[in-house]
A and B are shown apart, each in its own frame.
Chain A
């Protein structure tokens, strides 16, 4: 299978610290984080709890049951939940980024195509 992305360090490659892909991903991240920050500030200002609808409806469903209780398979207290989500999403980002570049990265200039 032929690769379509120039590898770092390979002949003819020009590794850039701040290339187009990085700029685009950072721009998307900043827009989403700004939206989250603005929403969070608004919600905090208006004393909204910001609870997840999944939990709200799960609680509603539990209240409907007689002697009902619900628990997630794993209880993650406090910041452990942030840790778990961070680790999972960090690794997920690496995998998505790796495959994205491999499958959808810029095509090489003529003469730089390389066989795996």
Chain B
């Protein structure tokens, strides 16, 4: 989902940057508020940020398709630190990946953050909250959040490419062409991300439920 520099027109990059700023600014306020409420939130944020950096740079081979791709980890991050804070740390992660690893681009940080740090995180988070609200077990809610957050990231990346590059080809057709470039490889990784999200969340809840107050809204955690 890392779109490189030179692919999207500058106008599109500006629009995606604008969308990102609309989430990053409230995210900074959310971080400040939660740090005041709980001093443990700051090291927790650092740990989650670095975890997203590693997870979203970790290319895994998928023998079914003969190509490699990476999970995102942003659905898990949104559950742990909140969706707006996830938009902030994802923007930072994407900046470092672009500058030091040649992964993604500078002009495309906005577009990449929209897909990974905002839609991927928010979709996973909303599903998580909805499933927990109906007494869904923690492992299942977390797994579904991880799975959907992963696929939504790639769906939105494909849309960002298609909306700028579809030309005379129908938008939906171009969108699906780009998405099918990702989907066969991403599907097994989304399943892996579901398992990973469940396992990590279960381990964290078992050790420090006090750090994760929203997780224990319902019984069965």
Contact = CB atoms under 8 A, between A and B. Distances in A.
Given A48-B63, A49-B66, A72 B104 contact: yes
Nearest to A106: B207
B123 interface: no
A56 B53 contact: no
Contacts of A53: 67-69, 181-182, 185-186
B103 interface: yes
Contacts of B177: 60
Contact of A70 (B6, B40, B59, B68): B6
Interface in A73-89: 73-76, 81, 84-85, 88-89
Contact of A58 (B3, B46, B63, B106): B3
B67 A49 contact: yes
A12 interface: no
Contacts of B99: 73-74
B40 A103 contact: yes
Nearest to B167: A64
Interface in A25-46: 35-36, 38-40, 42-43, 46
B102 A92 contact: no
Interface string B161-186: 10001010000001001100110011
Given A50-B61, A92-B54, A69 B6 contact: yes
A57 to B, nearest CB: 4
A72 B66 contact: no
Contacts of A62: 6-7
Contact of A89 (B54, B60, B70, B167): B54
A84 B100 contact: yes
Main secondary structure, interface of A, reads: helix
Interface in B189-221: 203-204, 207-208, 211
B66 A54 contact: no
Contacts of B39: 1
Given A43-B66, A72-B5, A99 B57 contact: no
Interface string B128-161: 0000000000000000000000000000011001
Contact of B67 (A36, A52, A71): A52
Nearest to A63: B165
A72 B102 contact: yes
B35 to A, nearest CB: 13
B7 A85 contact: no
Contact of B47 (A49, A72, A73, A103): A103
A102 interface: yes
Contacts of A17: none
20 contacts: A36-B60, A50-B61, A52-B59, A53-B181, A54-B103, A56-B181, A57-B158, A57-B178, A61-B3, A64-B167, A70-B7, A72-B102, A75-B102, A76-B101, A85-B101, A88-B96, A89-B54, A92-B50, A103-B47, A103-B208
Nearest first, the 3 A-B pairs at minimum CB distance are A48-B66, A99-B47, A72-B102
Interface of B: 1-7, 39-40, 43-44, 46-47, 50-51, 53-54, 57-63, 66-70, 96, 98-106, 157-158, 161, 165, 167, 174, 177-178, 181-182, 185-186, 203-204, 207-208, 211
